[in-house]
Structures are given as C-alpha cells and as structure tokens.
A and B are shown apart, each in its own frame.
Chain A
C-alpha cells in the first residue's frame, strides 16, 4: 500500500501552438533539404505572365460566350514542352473548392511527414517521442518573434503583417481554436485543433526517417457505409454488398488509421475522413505549407483551410475565414490548385517518394471519383454496374449536344472524363473531383498525360473551380477547350 500524500499528476509536456505562425518547411532529400519556396519558381513559370498562345485560345473560348464565364475559374499549366506554359481565366478568384479541398489536406499530410524527417536528421533524433517533443517545441517557439524583429506589412487592406514567423491579422495574432461555445455536437472541435496529434498520425514502430503513417491497409469496402450521407445512390449501392460474405466488418472512419483515412478521402472522396484528418493535422501546419509554397499569398489569397471540413451540420463558427475576402472557410484559386497539382506531378513538392504516393492515391481508373481507383498492380475493381456509374457520371459531365459529333478523347468529353470511365491505355489521369452537394456545384483538379498524334506525349495540369449546378455542362466544355488548346499549341509546326 502506498505511503505518503496522494500523488499529483504530471502529464508529459506537450507544447501546443496557440497562434497561426509560418513554420519551416522543406523539400528534397532529408539529408540535404532546401527550404520550401513558391512552387512556380521551381516549376519555371510566372503565373502573372501567361503564355500568349495558350492564353489566346482560352480567351477566345471565353469570348464566345462571355456571360457564362463570370463565375468559374480555370487554369492550365502545360508541361509538355521544355518551357511550361500557363494560362487561365478568373484564375485568382477565390472559390469554395468542395472536395478538391481534400487534395489540399493531402498536401499538408505529406509535408508534415517530410518536415519531421528533416528535423530528425538535422538534430539527430532517432526516437519518435523525442522527435514529437522537439517538433512541438519548435512550433511553439515560432510564436515568439526574435528580439528586434521588424513588422513586415504584407497587405494593407485588410491588414496582414508578419513579425518574424508570427502572422497578424488586423494587428492581432490569430488563435488556433474556435471561439464558439461548445455544444454536444461541436465540443470535439476544440480538441486538438491547434495542435498536431502526432501520436494519432504516426506509427510508434515506424522510426523517424521518415515517420510512417499509421495504416492497417484497409480496403474501401470496409467503410461504414451509412456515414456516407450525402450520396443516396451510393448508399444504395453499398447496401447491396454482402460484407459478411466478404469477411469484412465495417468500421467507422474515425477508427481508421491515418493513412487509410487519407486513401479513402482521396480515392473515395469520403466526407468524414477529411474532418478527422484535418483535426489530426491541425490547421496551422497545413496553411503554413501553402504560404511557404506560394499557394497562398496575402495579396491574392489561394489555398486556405479554415474549417474542420464538416459535412452536416455546419459548425456554428469556423476557425478562420479566409483573410483577404473573409467569405469562405475553405478556399482555393484555380491558379493555386493547378500549380500544386503540377508540382506533385513533377516531384517538386515534399520529395519524389511522397509525390509518387500522392499520385498513386489520385490515380483514376474506371469509375468516378467516389469509386476505388483501379490499381494497376492488383486490378481491383469495385462491383458496380455500368449503369450505376453512368448515372452518376452523366449527372456531372453531361456534354451538350453540339459537341456530340466530335471524336472521343476530346470534343464530346474531356480526357479527364474519359479517363474516369473508360479503360484507356493512352491516357493517365490523376485527379480530385469536388462536388458541393447543395447545390451541386462542381470543381476539379487534375493532371493529364496522354499520347497525341505524331507520337507526342502531352502533359498538363488543370484546375476548374466552381462550376454552377445550373450550368453543369460548362465543366465538360471547359475541360474540352483546355484539352484542345493544349493540343493545338503543341502541334508540330
């Protein structure tokens, strides 16, 4: 029996960031990394200086029906030739990205893993607990500006400034937690929101070079399907599966390990998965990554993740509305999404191994974004009928009749769409589609690699943001116009 006074509790100190700060992020080999800098510099293009030929084609497309092009933003980065060519329309307009926001969360996840690997190398840390502790200390240390640090004005109206690594909005640092009074449904938003739940993300047996995401390699049909509330058709489809016969017991997504949630979020566009993932990652590091990569700038905005990615109900108050316009809790521009996708395709973000993993998650085989990607190695296909797939596809990508006479590949349908539904060997698409369910506005970010006539291989990144539900057909038309423009600017002389 214990003697003496009752013990006081002493928990392992866990420094938690309180304010939004710009942290250190790295790219390349952890043994010799370099700081993450605006991606367009590494990709070799200037987004403010579009390629005249490519831009002219897109401008002509817009000019044919200007009234239809007042809302949707789109951008293309053609990587086919020795010099990247960029063009866009409303490409810096801030829009709600729908599920393309999940692509943003994925970027944050891989950047975190890499930054930890770099830290482990820099400070010779071989123990994962010690690495987590050190990382947290550094994140918190960034909140205290160096003595004598000057205030750097980043934007005058609204006022955004930085002092060393601390960012101030309207003269004040931005807290990483909600202001809302907790209710039974939302009290969980206060948990872990500013801090990174490293223990939930990484496998304790995984080491530090790099740390390994927790994973049970769960297949998609282990999903607890009725969490998927926004899609009645899909619920009906899942209900037909005999999971017991498959020997599977569905598990709620919150119980899934980090890597499996990540794969489901991207491959399946599962809506609860990003809520859990964003909570684990914390909003600070994800947004800090975007700032460092030039994917968010105070003068133009860009990728901003300010919300725990709820489906329903919406939270009473969000962490942070996007600072420049103050209207969206999650925001993107076509320019930023397109640039980020191109960087992933060209191994310019994080490191090549991470980019390969991200591409694999986004690889599209037969079926739409909510279906499991066809894995080239395993050839696994979901047991959906073609009719089910067609019904969903047509609702999103109905091409207007006037394009019906064009050859497949482009014209009737975009390569993006084709790759989603046809097992083509000559087109490879990595993409993340987004559909805002009420109303069902559509966004997409994709990378296309395909063979064109004359044996040329064309590669381009595309972002199409916020196509109104009332004009669904515009998605296919924009994608087709981009396909055609890229084809034409790369045609042999």
Chain B
C-alpha cells in the first residue's frame, strides 16, 4: 500500500478526491489507524503526516437515492471535489454575528453571498481546488487560508503554529503563524489564558491546548 505525505494546505478530502475515494474511506482504513490515533480530527492534519492510500480498485457505481412515490424528494448531490466550510463568526464583544449578510470571494474569482444563521455560522461548500478566500461581514474582513490549520499536538513545532492560527482566529494578535514561540505569541497566549481564567503563563500547556481547541472548534 502506498502512502501520501501531507503538505501544508492539504486536507484529507483533497487527498481522497485525488485518489478517487472519499475522505471517510481513507480515515477509516485500517492502515490509517495510527493517523487516527495521532490526529483525532480528520480535518486537521500536519505537514509530514503519512496517509495510507488504498490500492486502486474497480470503479464503484454511484448510489441512487430512493424516491418516495407520494412525496417530493429533493436530492442534493454534493459537487465532486467540494469540501464543507463551516465558520462561526463573532464580533469584538464575543457575540455571534447572527443573521448578517456575508460575501465570500474564492480564489479564482467566484463570488458568493449569503446570510449567517442565528448562531452566526456561515456554511458553504467550497471546491477542493480553492485554498484561499476572503470573507466579509459588514466592516469585518477575514483572509482565509483553507486547509492550513495545523494540529496542536504531536507536531515538530510543539503545536505552536496550530496555536498561533487559532489565537488569531479568536481575534488575538499574533505577529506571524510560523511555529516560533515569540513574544507576540506568548502575549497572545497570556491574554487568552487570562480571558479564560487559566493560569497565565504565556506557555502552551495541556490545559491551554484543550481550551483553545474547545473555543476554536477544532
């Protein structure tokens, strides 16, 4: 069985699509038990992770959705090569940006518009080939790099780049997402720890990691 070495920006869905399988098939494969144990979340891989690939097999028939006789059935089929994007947007005061119009500009030119739900969540299906986008809600603007969120544990930078990205996503200031625990990262950690009622150390401890994961959502 061959393996794919993850590069920065790659996600399981993209790897799976490139090899003609679903992300679930890769994730659940016995050969990837070690990956599952290390990463827990299939959406968060780290550059260098090895993903075992299945042997190529016969083409599978596409499933057909059963149609009821006496009801209108809406069949929604995901576009091949899409991945889900789910973001909960909050303002400076921590309140969700609920029921607000948003604009999403994907790299490559496609533009979309929609409305956040009652919890401030944006849900979109984004082509696998797109790894960058700009999201705007009112005066707020985010530059998104899709698939670039690193894990918080078992990484060669001690989870720092993963923490940096999450801290930034949570509105704290980090000079760069580069895996280096510099002063701005330490300060952002202190701020997060103070805000969460944790011991303020400026260091990445197990409790801080757990809280970061919880607050960030991944």
Contacts and interface: CB of A to CB of B under 8 A. Distances in A.
Interface of A: 2-18, 127, 129-130, 132-133, 140, 175, 177, 181-182, 187-188, 190-191, 194, 199
A12 B88 CA distance: 11
Shortest 9 CB-CB contacts between residues of A and residues of B: A11-B171, A182-B200, A190-B194, A16-B173, A7-B86, A130-B139, A7-B88, A129-B139, A8-B217
A14 B170 CA distance: 9
Contacts of B191: 16, 177, 190-191
B169 A133 contact: no
B101 to A, nearest CB: 15
A6 B41 CA distance: 11
A7 B183 contact: no
Given A13-B142, A190-B194, A199-B92, A5 B43 contact: yes
Given A2-B117, A12-B140, A187 B173 contact: no
Contact of B90 (A11, A16, A130, A132): A11
B93 interface: yes
Contact of B142 (A10, A129, A187, A199): A10
Nearest to B191: A190
14 contacts: A4-B123, A6-B86, A9-B169, A10-B87, A10-B142, A11-B94, A12-B140, A13-B171, A14-B172, A15-B173, A18-B183, A140-B173, A177-B190, A181-B200
A13 to B, nearest CB: 6
A191 B171 contact: no
Contacts of B86: 4-8
A3 B84 CA distance: 10
Given A18-B175, A18-B187, A9 B194 contact: no
Interface of A is mostly: loop
A171 to B, nearest CB: 14
Max chain A C-beta neighbours (<10 A), residue from B94, B141, B142, B187: B187
Interface in B82-121: 84, 86-94, 97, 117, 119, 121
B184 interface: yes
Nearest to B215: A9
B41 to A, nearest CB: 9
A24 to B, nearest CB: 20
A208 to B, nearest CB: 12
B138 interface: yes
Contacts of B91: 11-12
A175 B187 contact: yes
Given A14-B173, A127-B139, A181 B199 contact: yes
Max chain A C-beta neighbours (<10 A), residue from B141, B170, B200: B200
Contacts of B169: 8-11
Interface of B: 43, 84, 86-94, 97, 117, 119, 121-123, 135, 138-142, 149, 168-173, 175, 183-184, 187, 190-191, 193-195, 197, 199-201, 215-218
Nearest to A188: B194
A12 B123 contact: no
A262 B171 CA distance: 28
A15 B191 CA distance: 13
Contacts, number: 114
A190 B190 contact: yes
A2 B140 contact: no
A38 to B, nearest CB: 31
A177 B94 CA distance: 22
B187 A8 contact: no
A133 B142 CA distance: 12
Nearest to B149: A8
B90 A129 contact: no
Nearest to B197: A187
Contacts of B175: 18
Contacts of B97: 12
A177 B117 CA distance: 37
B172 A16 contact: yes
B187 A9 contact: no
A479 to B, nearest CB: 44
Max chain B C-beta neighbours (<10 A), residue from A8, A11, A190: A11
A166 to B, nearest CB: 13
Contacts of A9: 87-88, 90, 169-170, 215-217
Contact of A4 (B84, B88, B89): B84
A117 B29 CA distance: 60
Contacts of B119: 7
B138 A129 contact: yes
Contacts of B141: 13
Nearest to A8: B217
Nearest to B216: A9
Contacts of B138: 129
Contacts of A11: 89-92, 94, 169-171
A300 B86 CA distance: 56
A177 B199 contact: no
A127 B138 CA distance: 10
Contact of B87 (A7, A12, A15, A129): A7
A379 B199 CA distance: 51
Contacts of A133: 139-140
Given A9-B90, A10-B169, A187-B194, 9 more contacts: A5-B86, A7-B87, A8-B87, A11-B94, A11-B171, A13-B140, A14-B172, A177-B190, A187-B197
Nearest to A172: B183
Contact of A8 (B92, B171, B200, B216): B216
A101 to B, nearest CB: 25
A45 B168 CA distance: 48
B217 A191 contact: no
Contacts of A15: 173
Nearest to B88: A7
B49 to A, nearest CB: 19
A177 B190 CA distance: 9
A9 B215 CA distance: 7
A321 B163 CA distance: 32
A132 B93 CA distance: 13
A7 B121 contact: yes
Contacts of B190: 177, 190
A169 to B, nearest CB: 14
A211 to B, nearest CB: 15
A460 B194 CA distance: 47
B77 to A, nearest CB: 14
A194 B140 CA distance: 22
B84 A14 contact: no
